[in-house]
Amino acid sequence: MQLHKYLPLPSDRMGTLWALTSIKDACIIEYGPAGTTHYGIEGFMQLNAELRAKLYTTHMDETNIVMGDCERLEETIKEVDAVYNPPVIFVLASTISSIIGADIENICENIQNEVKAKLVPFSGGGLRGDYTLGIKEVLTSLAMDVVKEPTEKLPKTYNIIGCNIDQYNFASDLKELEGLMEAYFGYKLHAVFSGNSSIQEIQEASKAEFNIVLRGEGIKCAEVLKEKFQMDYYFGAPYGFKGTINWLKGIEKSFSLKGNDLFLGRQMEKSRRLIMRMKQSTFTIKQFRGILSGNFDFVMDIYPFLMDELSINLTKLIVNHSGKDISHRNVVETMKEKLIFNPSEEAKEDLLLKEEPQIIFGDGILLEMGKEVSMMIQVSNPNLHQIQIFEGTPFMGFNGAIYLIEVLLNQISHNRKNLKSKF
């Protein structure tokens, strides 16, 4: 059923726009009715993100639709090129322009010689897939069309691929990763694809030593950079104490680095204390059951922390998009049974009734549906009401694990009366 009481699944076009608009100095032109762009701009607030790019609409009238007249788009491209002199202009089709058959790629090709900026078309009009496809296409295109040959190599630097504004905690997580890499390896972050980044940083991404890919949508981007600039990459995101240690060790091994054991020792010591405290707090709780929702890689990566380290029995794992593009990871049998891809609203409501979770780690909609559940932590988008300003509340890394334990302990403390004892 395509009927929704809450929100439909965001489209590929929405993902494209989300991935591009967080890049400072990126120039984006949308070929479609102005209302589409205006709505999109207001949508960034819901993601707790800033519009860092320069985003324009051409608007469209009946002449453009009936006669297929694309002069409006050509004039807009030439104008933006002349006024802002950007290195790249991203030209996006709207659903309407793609339905009427406006060939964005051909238009860009035809006028490429008349403008200084490199024109990068995105012809997906929002009916080909969900937002993850749009994000994947942008990341890949940045590697293919924007990153330049390196003029020099910058030692002890790396790029992050796949930190994007659709991820609920992207700003805090990015800061945590920077801190981790600095503290353990003494490495500095060079460019981010594409959250809170800039066109210049992305253009110069090839100067870094290697890439870290946080989500599957970024693998093709990393492959392109590997082929074009011989940059190796490491795939994975650090959640929980063990997960973070494994992640650091994985990077250490992949790139033959030597990390700071003293730093790691201190973190391990801290983790033992906090895990013990968490276990003491949940020891008396009967069947501490929970449901988790979010992007596929997020769910896969944070699951071992919540399930194994914190002993929360996550009975269902809801992935907020389709399961078409998950071949980059092996899913173990025990998780396969729990994973549900893009369930309907009715299915989610049934699930909440059937599973009787004591805690939801979810998106804003799941939290709204599960209002009766006493403990809820928002960990993913869509976001309805939560405002995120402070960039010191990560989910990733050692600090992410500590922060989540703190939030959990507080939730348990406030809801102790509602939790059944196993004794």
Partner 1 sequence: MHYEYRLDKLKKVSETETAKDIKQLSHAQFPGTHCPLFGVALTAGYVKDLFTLVVGTDECTYYTKTFTMERSNSIEGLEDNFLSFAINQDDVVFGCQEKLEKAIKKIDQEYKPKAILLVTTCVLEIIGEDFEAIVYAIQDEVKAKLMVVHTEHFKCNSHIPGIERSLEALIELMEEQPTKENAINIIGHRYDGVENTELLKLLQSKGIEINLVLPSSCSVDRIATAPQAALNIVTDFTAINLAEKMKKKFGIDYVYFDKYLSLDRVEKGYYEVAEKLNIDIKKEVAAYRAAADAMMETLKPVFGGKTFIYGNTPMLAFEFSSFLCEMGMIPKLIMARDLYINDDQYMKEINELGFDPYVTRIANIAPLQQIYGELKPNIYVGHENPRNLMERGIMQVTLDMVAKKLGFEVPMTVMKIISAAMNNFESMNKMTGKENHHAAS
Residues near partner 1, by CB under 8 A: 1-11, 13-14, 29, 33-43, 46, 54-62, 64-65, 72, 75-76, 79-80, 82-83, 95-96, 99-100, 126-128, 382, 384-385
* 59 vs 226 by CB, closer to partner 1: 59
Residue among 355, 354, 352 nearest 368 (CA): 352
Strands in 251-331 per DSSP E: 289-294, 313-319
* 47 vs 274 by CB, closer to partner 1: 47
CB of 306 vs partner 1, minimal distance in Å: 28
Query: Under 8 Å CB-to-CB from 91, ≥6 apart: which residues?
Result: 28, 29, 31, 73, 77, 104, 107, 108, 119, 120, 121, 122
CB of 119 vs partner 1, minimal distance in Å: 14
CB of 124 vs partner 1, minimal distance in Å: 11
Distance CA 19, CA 166 (A): 8
Structure tokens at 271: 């983790």
* 81 vs 301 by CB, closer to partner 1: 81
The string of DSSP letters for 336-349 reads: HTTEEES--HHHHH
* 73 vs 307 by CB, closer to partner 1: 73
CB of 56 vs partner 1, minimal distance in Å: 4
Which residue, chain included where needed, has tokens 């050692």? 398
CB of 217 vs partner 1, minimal distance in Å: 18
* 14 vs 248 by CB, closer to partner 1: 14
CB of 13 vs partner 1, minimal distance in Å: 6
Structure tokens at 38: 């205006």
The string of DSSP letters for 380-413 reads: ESS-SS-----S---SBHHHHHHHHHHHHHHHHH
Distance CA 257, CA 215 (A): 23
Distance CA 88, CA 115 (A): 10
CB of 281 vs partner 1, minimal distance in Å: 33
Distance CA 383, CA 166 (A): 10
Of all helices (H) and strands (E), which one includes residue 170?
Answer: helix 170-185
Structure tokens at 59: 């608007």
* 92 vs 222 by CB, closer to partner 1: 92
Q: Please give the backbone phi and psi of residue 122, each rounded to the nearest 5 degrees, phi first.
A: -125, 105
Three-class secondary structure of residue 266 per DSSP: helix
* 60 vs 199 by CB, closer to partner 1: 60
Three-class secondary structure of residue 161 per DSSP: strand
Per DSSP, helices labelled H in 100-145 are 104-111, 131-141
Distance CA 423, CA 420 (A): 9
* 89 vs 314 by CB, closer to partner 1: 89
CB of 316 vs partner 1, minimal distance in Å: 24
CB of 337 vs partner 1, minimal distance in Å: 29
* 116 vs 277 by CB, closer to partner 1: 116
Distance CA 146, CA 202 (A): 7
* 94 vs 211 by CB, closer to partner 1: 94
Angle of helix 241-254 versus helix 397-415 axis, rounded to 10 = 170
CB 197 within 8 A of CB 22: yes
CB of 24 vs partner 1, minimal distance in Å: 16
CB of 3 vs partner 1, minimal distance in Å: 5
* 1 vs 389 by CB, closer to partner 1: 1
